[in-house]
Structure 1
């Protein structure tokens, strides 16, 4: 009887391990999506680059002007899960992503999967980028490949057990990697045209990945979408990232034009100025067309208040 029990436990253990291995496997884009990827437009890709905030993490800390286009990585993000180091994503073919194909880049952006078939850690906000349109991914890739190469690989992440088991991220992705919008159309309120709200939703939920900082996370790092944009503890360091809904403690007193002007100028309605990590975000948003900043503002005023 004892032997049968041990054998059953071993069989169940093997089955559980096999299931875990299968479920944690990195995913790739469907073949039909890859087949329909078209060469991008670098001019359009530049706007997507700024909306996506690529330079905020991958350029040197505090970089200004042309230095923001040197994407050699190296910035360190100290989180409760360990220290993540932004990699080199310049066009350098050896140390950056210069040798990547468009399909590999799209896999990274939309599925969080590396060219080597490994799961990326979600410090890279692909859970938001997963909502991007494939053509925008192509355009972004075209622009990034036009930027100067930067030699030198960034340092590796500094993670303890179990977070250093990269394969396990695949199970996490099963729970939290979703290309569907966070806020359905029928939950957006106000009288703004739906086309404008949808553009704002795309920029906030996808390209701008605003929820990655402004939404609280659970114990395993998943976004608490029932508290979408309601504010959260800062991922690195002390302090809190503010509530940017119209709920109590949020931006209820700000008009849509106040928000749009803040994104353009960095000045609040109270004549204060942008500070902290939001500085680089605001500088990126200032490079977008006014219509995009207005769409972001309209969306933030339309989302459920928390």
Structure 2
């Protein structure tokens, strides 16, 4: 009996030490100084392409742009996108360009805490310093709203931020948006948008029980989106089977109308209304060109964070 007691105490001590180590485990890395001059127009365009306005604005409830978004109801709880206006207390007014870069590209707050993956930061991991400078310049022009977004309503154990460190270790994949030699400029631009800023895979790829993307089913659709919405497959064979063409898909991203004359509903209607309709025809066509000729499911489709070279990590951070 005494041995059992000693063994139990030892196991508990080891478990406690392991938990303490995870809690103390630092995540992320300090970004290099952002010294480039940002362009407000380019930043506003990238913010639209990235869905910042759509997610962080609760227009249906009369909210101001970027003052905090509508609730995202998930199986883990309800998440409320944060206030991104320049308010120093409730928004990002006391941030630096470097802390903004760390939040956008790494999903780490200025105080070092990981963000919940309801924020699709993995798709933004390859934004360049110029992209960050442009976004930062654009966000400085937003009207200040001195009200906090509601607190997340997430129950235990999903409310434990330290657990997100384990989630990141398992499921933080960078988007691999770099140009592919011998492919057209339009194809590579579409790849950059679809895999990166527009983060199409965030909704159109199924998730596992832990909320990580199923890399064996990239773009294959997701029947369990927040709020009960669904996202169909956007793989080339499924698009073609459902009557889509490059031109009709590019047009739908601007109009919200499908080849059958129906209109997008649910979350995709919001994506068109607040994001893709603001993109240029060239960018919408590029996204369609890529989706009709995208390689998915292979080892090169998405790159694991830990597998990146030191040279590339330096460039990203």
The alignment partner of 1:196 has SS state of helix
Cα pair 1:245 1:304 within 8 Å, conserved: no
Query: CA offsets, 1:103-130, max 9 Å, x none?
Result: 0100100111111111111111112111
Match of 1:218 in 2: 208
Compared CA separation, residues 255 and 12, structure 1 to 2 (3 A): same
Q: Is the 2:190–2:290 contact (alpha carbons within 8 Å) kept by the matching residues of 1?
A: yes
Q: Which residues in structure 2 correspond to 1:65-76 (within 5 Å)?
A: 70-76=65-71
Q: 3-state SS of the aligned residue for 1:138? A: helix
Unmatched tracts of structure 1, length 5 or more = 187-191
Match of 1:158 in 2: 153
Runs of 4+ in 1 over 6 A off after TM superposition: none
8 Å contact 2:125–2:174 — kept in the other structure?
A: yes
Aligned to 2:269: 279
Report what 2:28 is aligned to: 27
Pair 1:281–1:10, CA change in 2 (3 A): closer
In the superposition, the TM-score normalised over structure 2's length comes to 0.84
Say if 2:83 and 2:149, in contact at 8 Å, map to a contact too: yes
* Cα distance between partner residues in 1 of 2:150 and 2:64: 20
For structure 2, the residue ranges without an aligned partner over 5 or more in a row are: 298-317
Distance verdict in 2 for CA 1:78–1:148, change over 3 Å: same
SS at match of 1:286: helix
Relative distance call for 1:75 and 1:250 in structure 2 (3 A) is farther
SS in 1 for 2:36: coil
Alpha-carbon RMSD? 2.7
SS at match of 2:226: coil
Structure 1 300/158 Cα, relative in aligned 2: closer, same or farther at 3 Å? Answer: same
SS at structure 1 position matched to 2:104:
helix
Aligned 8 A contact 1:230 1:250 in 2: no
Give the match's secondary structure for 1:232: coil
Q: In 2 relative to 1, CA 249–50 (structure 1 residues): closer, same or farther, beyond 3 Å?
A: closer
Is structure 2 residue 128 aligned with structure 1 residue 133? yes
Which residue of the other structure, out of 206, 222, 234, is the alignment partner of 2:196? 206
Report 1:100-249 matches (<5 A). 100-181=95-176, 185=180, 193-248=183-238
Offset from partner CA, 1:154-188 (integer Å, 9 cap, x none): 110011111010121111111222324289959xx
1:98 pairs, out of 93, 113, 127, with 93
| Alpha-carbon displacement from aligned partner over 1:245-274 (angstroms, at most 9, x marks no partner) | 123477663111111111122221112222
> How many residues are paired up?
294
Which of 274, 282, 292 is 1:291 aligned to? 282
Q: CA deviation at 1:28?
A: 2.6
Q: For 2:6 and 2:121, how far apart are their aligned partners in 1?
A: 46
Contact 2:122 2:175 in 1 (8 A): no
Partner of 2:305: none
CA distance in 1 between counterparts of 2:242 and 2:73 reads 31
> Shift in Å at residue 198 of structure 1?
1.8
Q: Contact 1:127–1:176 at 8 Å: present in 2 too? A: no
Q: Retained in 1: the 8 A contact 2:57–2:63?
A: yes
What is the distance in 1 between the residues matched to 2:111 and 2:184?
40
